[in-house]
């Protein structure tokens, strides 16, 4: 078998050899992932049927409820409403967080003047400021957007600033030695070195943004997926309540995958062919 494979690789063109070598671990990776998903769903299905349906629903029951909610248009409308808030709030938080993080991490006096404020706001519980946000923005879209933004911006900001501070000083010294100006140092040295920290902050921000979106939908205008959770929770329809919860989980997985793909695009040097 090994000799046959080696003979195939030896006679195949370079592009075919590359596909054979690279696709094998990729296929194994996805096979392991699919087996894991199937095992969890099967265990959930079997064990869930042993519990009172009031407390937990199983996958086939949740799937049937999801189909009914899709046909009625209820799930699609709520999903799009939540996606609008989450996407806009998270994109704004990422842009502002990266910009402020670069400045705070680079300039010592800016850090000294803002560090206490960033830490204080980051540690403030969201529930504590929700009534204040309602007073400022009312119960509409602006309030939800602000809550998503304020929750997601700090992980991005703090991680970006940490990335800038952790840039090796000798790299900056080399840039200065070659008469690089501040703009060049930022673009050619600091920004590429801080990319892994930025992306970590963005991944953390995804989870925080989803939490902010759900909390906002609970306490402000009750719509979107948060409204469905409240509605079916009050009606004790456990299977239907699981549908928006799993939709939120799917949303987080998709956004994280997009962030990882974006990282591969902006920082391809960090990944090898085997990643």
pLDDT tens digits for 66-91? 898 888 888 888 888 888 888 999 99
Using one digit for the tens of pLDDT, what is the confidence trace for 193-231?
Answer: 888 888 889 988 888 898 888 888 887 767 788 888 888
Whether the predicted pLDDT of 101 surpasses 70? yes
CA pair distance 168, 163, nearest whole angstrom: 10
pLDDT tens, 9-66?
444 444 444 444 445 567 887 888 888 888 988 888 888 788 777 788 888 888 888 8
Kindly report the number of other CB atoms within 10 A of residue 157's CB atom: 29
Task: Give the dihedral sign, CA 244/248/253/255.
Answer: positive
Q: Fold for 59-269, please state it.
A: MetI-like fold (1.10.3720)
Within 10 Å of residue 101's Cβ, how many Cβ atoms?
A: 27
pLDDT reading at 175 higher than 80: no
> What confidence tier does 272 reach under pLDDT thresholds 50, 70, 90?
low
> Is the Cβ–Cβ distance between 247 and 254 less than 8 Å?
no
Look at residues 159, 152, 154 and name the one whose alpha carbon lies nearest to residue 86.
152
User: What's the predicted TM-score (pTM) here?
Assistant: 0.77
């Amino acid at each position: 078998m090994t000799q046959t494979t080696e003979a195939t690789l030896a006679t195949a063109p370079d592009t075919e050899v590359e596909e054979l070598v690279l696709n094998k671990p990729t296929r194994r990776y996805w096979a392991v992932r699919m087996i894991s998903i199937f095992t969890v769903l099967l265990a959930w299905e079997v064990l869930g049927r042993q519990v009172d349906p009031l407390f937990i629903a199983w996958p086939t029951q949740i799937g049937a409820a999801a189909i009914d909610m899709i046909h009625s248009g209820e799930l699609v409308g709520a999903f799009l409403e939540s996606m609008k808030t989450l996407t806009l709030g998270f994109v704004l938080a990422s842009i502002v967080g990266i910009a402020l993080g670069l400045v705070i991490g680079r300039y010592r006096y800016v850090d000294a003047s803002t560090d206490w404020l960033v830490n204080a706001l980051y540690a403030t519980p969201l529930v504590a400021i929700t009534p204040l946000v309602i007073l400022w923005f009312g119960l509409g879209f602006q309030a939800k957007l602000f809550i998503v933004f304020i929750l997601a911006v700090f992980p991005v900001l703090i991680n970006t600033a940490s990335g800038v501070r952790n840039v090796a000083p000798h790299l900056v010294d080399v840039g200065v030695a070659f008469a690089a100006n501040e703009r060049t140092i930022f673009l050619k040295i600091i920004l590429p070195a801080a990319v892994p920290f930025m992306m970590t902050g963005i991944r953390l921000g995804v989870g925080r943004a989803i939490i902010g979106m759900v909390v906002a939908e609970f306490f402000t205008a009750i719509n979107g997926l948060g409204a469905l959770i409240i509605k079916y929770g009050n009606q004790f329809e456990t299977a239907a309540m699981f549908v928006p919860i799993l939709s939120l989980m799917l949303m987080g997985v998709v956004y994280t995958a997009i962030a990882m793909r974006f990282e591969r695009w902006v920082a391809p040097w960090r990944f090898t062919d085997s990643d």
